[in-house]
Structure 1
Amino acid sequence: MKSSLLAFLAVGVAHSAGRLLYATRHGLVPDTVTSNVIPMRKHIVPSSQHRSSVVKPVYRRTADVNHPANLTNVHDVYYIVDIIVGNQTLAVSVDTGSSDTWFVSDYFECIRFWWQGPEYKPNCGLADGFTGNLSGGVLDNPPFVRSYMDTTFVSGYYGFEDVTVGSITAKNQRVGVVNYTFWAGDGLTSGLLGLGYPFMTSLDGAEQNQAPYDPVFTTMWKNKLIDPLFSIALSRESGDQGEPDGEVRTPEGSYLALGGLPPVEVDEESWARTKIHGVDAIPEWMFEQSDLGLYIIKPDSWVYGRETEDVTPAEADQGAVTTHGLTTNTTQFPVLIDVGATLSLLPKGLVQKLYAAFDPPAKYLSTNGLFFALCNATIPKFGVNIGENTFYFAPEDLLRQTARDPSGEYCRIGVTDVNGGPYVLGVSFLSSVVAVFDIENTEMRFASRTKY
């Protein structure tokens, strides 16, 4: 009955006066700014403090066994919110690439592995944890376990406690408490706020077959505390910026908005929508189920290249400029929308064309394991086509001036190439859009941010 109702509602979606409408149990309504907005703090870890890359908890399932699938990324940009667990405030990283909310306890063991040597002092980069007891008690079985392909992991137990995000409280919420870990955090956070679907919570423990439970966001909308959607706006700026005339302005912040839109300006004519696909859409995961797990979309095409101007004298007199030189790749493939990923990870054949379009072309630096370009290189255009709209990466996200090689001459490119999925659109893409994660209509919506 539920799925039939949603299929019926999805038919009635329309545009009106540039504002994208969506269907909910309340009828056909526009996306509106919500009062349930939580500011996010951006933290950039300096290159001198980078630890080993954290690999996100993404899994593939076969008939008999489940294994984590490799989703590597350089994690040096974190978006942080404060949540209240019981009566304690904890800083956690926001993550659309996982579902559990977990945090370390006041005492946890940070371990080292044998290959690090006995002189190595482990530093998991986790802030102060939860103290005392969970008011709803704990579960002795199953244990809370998340394993990662780069040997990082968290281990502990489940318990129940009220969890408040902004002004919304999930009562007696199931959470993970970590007391044993090998981790590589940012030094400011105590855990993760996972915003994925319940299905991903079933992939816990050695057997990988526990019953799923409702994560924090799911609990909130099922209890009708919010509409079943959230949206995210990520700012690439983190402090006051000086204008050319010397005036200092405060840049737009980063926001997690529960049940509606964040308070940032967007191009209203740029709204586009696309379906959220089930976990079986990513072949590398080897799922047989079509359950919704994470936010997987299939963009219509990709645009890249350097624009060239070709203007006749008559056109120039009229102020006209015709641009050429951009290539459109219509190959469709599934992509994760992941706020917890600093870079975007895309197919090698596509990204190599992007690297070649830099002037001078980007090059691989073996000391860093990624592609870099001269910090003053000419930056090409790179965009994602969704529906009838193209969402371009900002130049400052394609060539990250804050992430340089030891010489300081080369800057890291915000898109990296991988030989196989899962592919990811991370912070380097999301900094240019508002992203709406609509659970009820099983779709994502995007709008371009106005310049900030």
Structure 2
Amino acid sequence: MALIFTVLFIPGSQNSTIPITSAVEGQVFLAPIAFADEPFLVVIDTGSSDTWVVRQRFACISITTGLREGQDQCAFGPQYVASSSFTEIPDQNFNVSYGDGEVLIGIVGYEEVCLGNVTVPSQEVGLVDIAAWNGDGKSSGILGLAYPSLTSAYAGDEQDSEQDSVEEEYEPIFIRMITHGLIEQQIFTLAISRDESSGGILTLGGLPDPRDVVYGDDFATVPIEVLGSPQMNGSSRFDPDYTFYTISIDGFPNPNASSSFAPSPQESPHSRWPNVTNIQAVIDSGTTLIYLPYPVTKAINSLFGSQANYDPTVDTWFVDCNATAPSWSLTIGGQNFNINPLDMIIQGLDGSCVSGVQDAFNGFSILGDVFLKTVLAVFDLGNAEMRFATRQ
């Protein structure tokens, strides 16, 4: 179904192409933004909905110990100094948690926000006072581009009582651009680059100029779905509203159809490439890796041969940093998209390397930056669909 927005037409609505900056050796992607006249870099996150920045005199909390530590340990970029144009919303608080254990707590209010050449008046934003955060040294917050149901404002001024508070849903920044007629079309387009010197581009309100990014002529088009919660009996219970940009993956072609993937000694020698089809996955630019069901993850990582191993103590597939990465693909909307082997080995700060594909376990599948580096992704909110084109 299409998502219907009430749109206020404003003459001069436009589209805007914004250069992206990469951080953490091409694993995080940042966009320039301004709160009033204060410029920042923020993480582009299609897997969350809040736009927030950290403000001066915030408290940095260790994710590991829960104890306060120096602000430098959170590794934020510049901190926000509330301008005269910021208006705090009384009796509300900001409280958001992310899948990797990071937690941000603060206040909410209205501020003029500029993204590219689009200025959004009175955008509701979060200002962070308490942060348990693993920063990149450049970004000051997050640009959340998902749906209103994922926003994180809560009733009351008790900043640590999210679970007992009533959620105060609001319009995220891209939805507000749509409803206020600030962009030409109800879409944004993302093309992130594995070239650390360029980062890629984010286009609001249209497709990028072909001179800025090279992509194929044929788009795979699939509907945005309501994310289901799998039940033990195999049926699905669905949430009442859109949350993430969720699509269905048709399947995973065997990269060598003439042979089976290598089974473990405990498995039958007749084990073959898993026939996993029609699974939901979230398109999430804020996640580096791809997360898939265990049978698929195991099959893909077996293509590394002896150069990959699974460590159950940390639930992670590790690979030799000098391994020969495999080629494999996934099918969306009837089209195959090849994952580039260059994106299949991710080196951490400790020098170890992990596979670009990890187990989703009991969570939902995620197509993160390892996938997004191979495509031009069009997020069409007006038609509630996503379109993908292959990209060099």
Normalised TM-score (structure 1):
0.72
Give a deviation string over 1:130-173, Cα, whole Å, max 9, x none: 11335141012221111346653111111111101000011111
| Residue of structure 2 in register with 1:282 after alignment | 229
2:215 aligned with 1:266: yes
Aligned-partner residue type, residue 229 of structure 2:
I
- In the TM superposition, 1:346-385 aligns within 5 A as 346-365=292-311, 370-385=316-331
What is the alpha-carbon distance in structure 2 between the residues aligned to residue 183 and residue 383 of structure 1? 33
Aligned length: 358
Contact 1:144 1:157 in 2 (8 A): yes
Aligned-partner residue type, residue 173 of structure 2:
V
Change (3 A) 1:306 1:4: closer
Give a deviation string over 1:403-437, Cα, whole Å, max 9, x none: 4874xxx7421111132122100001100100000
Change (3 A) 1:213 1:374: same
Aligned-partner residue type, residue 426 of structure 1:
G
What is the alpha-carbon distance in structure 1 between the residues aligned to residue 322 and residue 61 of structure 2? 42
2:22 aligned with 1:42: yes
| Residue of structure 1 in register with 2:118 after alignment | 168
Change (3 A) 1:180 1:299: same
Does the residue aligned with 2:288 lie in a helix, a strand or coil?
coil
What is the alpha-carbon distance in structure 2 between the residues aligned to residue 412 and residue 392 of structure 1? 19
Counterpart of 1:220 (choices 170, 173, 177) is 177
What is the alpha-carbon distance in structure 2 between the residues aligned to residue 195 and residue 134 of structure 1? 26
The percent identity for this pair of structures is 32
Contact 2:247 2:281 in 1 (8 A): yes
Which structure has the greater CA radius of gyration?
1
| Residue of structure 1 in register with 2:333 after alignment | 387
| Residue of structure 1 in register with 2:59 after alignment | 109
| Residue of structure 2 in register with 1:332 after alignment | 278
Contact 1:80 1:94 in 2 (8 A): yes
| Residue of structure 2 in register with 1:64 after alignment | none
Give a deviation string over 1:222-267, Cα, whole Å, max 9, x none: 111111110100100113xxxxxxxxxxxx6501110112231111
Contact 1:202 1:211 in 2 (8 A): yes
2:375 aligned with 1:436: no
Change (3 A) 1:127 1:379: closer
Q: Is the helix fraction higher in 1 or 2?
A: 1
Shift of 1:91: 1.2
| Residue of structure 2 in register with 1:445 after alignment | 387
Change (3 A) 1:98 1:84: same
What is the alpha-carbon distance in structure 1 between the residues aligned to residue 241 and residue 317 of structure 2? 35
| Residue of structure 2 in register with 1:91 after alignment | 41
Contact 1:302 1:330 in 2 (8 A): yes
Normalised TM-score (structure 2):
0.82
- Gaps of at least 5 residues in structure 2 are 155-161, 260-271
Contact 1:345 1:423 in 2 (8 A): yes
| Residue of structure 1 in register with 2:360 after alignment | 418
What is the alpha-carbon distance in structure 1 between the residues aligned to residue 41 and residue 320 of structure 2? 36
Does the residue aligned with 2:249 lie in a helix, a strand or coil?
coil
Contact 1:135 1:161 in 2 (8 A): yes
Change (3 A) 1:426 1:3: closer
- In the TM superposition, 1:14-163 aligns within 5 A as 36-44=16-24, 77-112=27-62, 115=65, 123-133=73-83, 135-148=85-98, 151-163=101-113
Aligned-partner residue type, residue 332 of structure 1:
N
Aligned-partner residue type, residue 360 of structure 2:
V
Contact 1:306 1:357 in 2 (8 A): no
Contact 2:36 2:83 in 1 (8 A): no
Aligned-partner residue type, residue 274 of structure 1:
V
Contact 2:110 2:123 in 1 (8 A): yes
- In the TM superposition, 1:401-412 aligns within 5 A as 402-403=347-348, 406=351, 411-412=353-354
Contact 2:229 2:238 in 1 (8 A): no
| Structure with more contact order per residue of length (Cα contacts < 8 Å, sep ≥ 6) | 2
Shift of 1:109: 1.0
Aligned-partner residue type, residue 53 of structure 2:
F
- Gaps of at least 5 residues in structure 1 are 7-23, 27-33, 46-75, 240-251, 310-325
Contact 1:112 1:121 in 2 (8 A): no
